[in-house]
């Protein structure tokens, strides 16, 4: 009987704690507190920063691996913004002046597709894989497949 009472009292304490926890959260949300908004904003910024950093590391590793497998010099350029465009042009064997076209709106999309098509051909894959880089989820998958497939 004593063990049963102990379990019941513990469950009662847990239920009381849950009620206090959830009711205080509702009160905070109902006040439209600037602190709550700031906390949410900071949390969202941190999540996006972490996801962005992970995507950057993944794309840099993939580009460096592609450069190594195509025996392109200076594969470490994959880690430096803008310099990674130079590396992609070297892998694709495109003229270096094309780097200017990456900074022209609309034209940069076409040039990026053409460069990724040439990178896919350099890795022995069909050139249409470069077109997949404009598809939102495929643009994360294609560089990985080009880097780590045979």
Residue 15 included in any domain: no
Q: Is the pLDDT of residue 19 over 90?
A: no
CA dihedral angle for residue 126, residue 130, residue 134, residue 136, rounded to 10 degrees: 60
pLDDT tens digits, residue range 116-148? Answer: 999 999 999 999 999 999 999 999 999 999 999
Evaluated on CA atoms 28, 41, 53, 144, the torsion sign reads positive
Whether the Cβ atoms of residue 81 and residue 99 lie closer than 8 Å to each other: no
Residue 47 within a domain: no
> Among all chains, which residue has been given the structure tokens 């894959």?
125
Q: Where in the sequence is the domain holding 139, given as residue range(s)?
A: 52-148
CA distances from 99 to 27, 89, 132, 133 (A): 54, 8, 21, 18
Asked if 77 and 83 touch (Cβ cutoff 8 Å), the reply is yes
The token pair at 83 is 């310099």
Contact between 88 and 62 (Cβ < 8 Å): no
pLDDT digits (tens, 9 = 90+) for 22-74: 555 554 455 677 887 888 889 899 999 999 999 999 999 999 999 999 999 99
Q: What's residue 33's pLDDT?
A: 79
Q: Residue 92: inside a domain, yes or no?
A: yes
Residue 84 lies in a domain: yes
Of the two residues 19 and 94, the one the predictor is more confident about is 94
Average pLDDT on 94-108 reads 96
121 located within any domain? yes
Q: Is the pLDDT of residue 2 over 60?
A: no
Tokens 């900074």: give the residue: 103
Number of domain units in the chain: 1
């Amino acid at each position: 009987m004593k063990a049963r009472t102990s379990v019941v009292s513990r469950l009662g304490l847990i239920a009381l704690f849950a009620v206090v926890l959830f009711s205080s959260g509702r009160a905070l949300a109902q006040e439209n507190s600037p602190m709550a908004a700031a906390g949410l904003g900071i949390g969202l910024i941190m999540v996006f920063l972490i996801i962005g950093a992970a995507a950057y590391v993944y794309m840099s590793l993939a580009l460096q691996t592609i450069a190594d497998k195509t025996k392109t010099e200076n594969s470490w350029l994959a880690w430096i913004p803008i310099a990674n465009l130079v590396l992609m042009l070297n892998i694709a064997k495109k003229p270096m002046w094309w780097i200017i076209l990456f900074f022209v709106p609309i034209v940069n999309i076409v040039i990026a597709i053409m460069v990724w098509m040439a990178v896919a051909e350099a890795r022995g894959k069909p050139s249409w894989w470069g077109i997949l880089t404009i598809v939102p989820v495929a643009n994360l998958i294609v560089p990985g497949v080009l880097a780590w497939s045979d």
